Amino acid sequence: MSGRNTAIRSLHDLGLAAWFGGSLMGAVGLNGAARQEGATETAQARIASAGWAKWVPVNAAAIGAHLYGGGGLLVVNAHRIANQKGVAASTTAKTVITAAALAATAYARILGKKIELASSSDPQDTAQSARHPIDTDKARRHLACAQWAVPALTGSLVILNALHGEQQRPSEQLRGMWGRACSMAPLMH
C-alpha cells in the first residue's frame, strides 16, 4: 500500500516519544531531584509524588495517542502483516511489549499513589492510608523497579518501530513477500 498515513503515524510516534521520554525524565530527573531536595524520605516522596501527579494526564494522553495510532497502523498494514515474512513476528513482539509497558505504567501509578497517600499531610489522605496500610519500603523498591521498567520497555518499542520502518522499504517488502510466498509453496502441493 503506497498511501500516506502521516496522521496515524504521527500519533503513534509522538505518543511513544512522550511516554518514553517522560518516564525516563521522571525516573532520572524528577526522582533524582526529589532525593536531592527532600530532607526526609517523606519529603522526598511528597516532591516526587507531586511531580508524577502533574505528569499523569499528559502521560495518559500520550499513551492514548500511541495506542490509537498503533491501531490505525495495524489496520493500514494488515496486508503486510499477513503477507510479508517477518512483519507478523515483529508486530507480535510490539504488541506484547506494549502490553508489558502498559502494565508497568499502571503498576507504577498504583504504587506511586499509595506512597503519595502514605506521605501526605492531608487528613483525608492520612485516613485513607490508615484504612489501607502499606509497607512503604517495599512499595518504594517495587516502584523504583516499575519506573525503570517503563522506559526500558518503551525504548524497546522505539527499536521495534525502527525495525518496522526498515521493513517498509520497497526492497524489504518485495523480499519479505517473496519469502512468504516461497514458504507457502510447499503447502500448495
Tell which residue, 90, 88, 89, 83, has the closest CA to residue 178.
Answer: 83
Q: What is the pLDDT of residues 9-49, one digit of tens each?
A: 999 999 999 999 999 999 999 999 999 999 998 899 999 99
- What would the pLDDT profile of 113-141 be if each residue is shown by its tens digit? 888 888 877 777 666 666 767 888 899 99
Q: How large a percentage of the chain has pLDDT more than 90?
A: 63
Whole-angstrom Cα distance, residue 180 to residue 11? 30
- Residue 1's pLDDT is what? 42
Residue 84 · residue 180 · CB < 8 Å: yes
pLDDT at 175: 63
Q: What is the DSSP letter of 188?
A: G
Spatial distance between the Cα atoms of 166 and 118, rounded to a whole number of angstroms: 47
* Residue range 82-89: mean pLDDT, rounded: 88
Cell numbers linked to 118: 502514605
Region 77-99: what's the mean pLDDT?
A: 92
Residue 149 CA to residue 140 CA, distance in Å, equals 14
- 16: Cβ–Cβ under 8 A, 6 or more apart, which residues? 62, 66, 154, 157, 158, 161
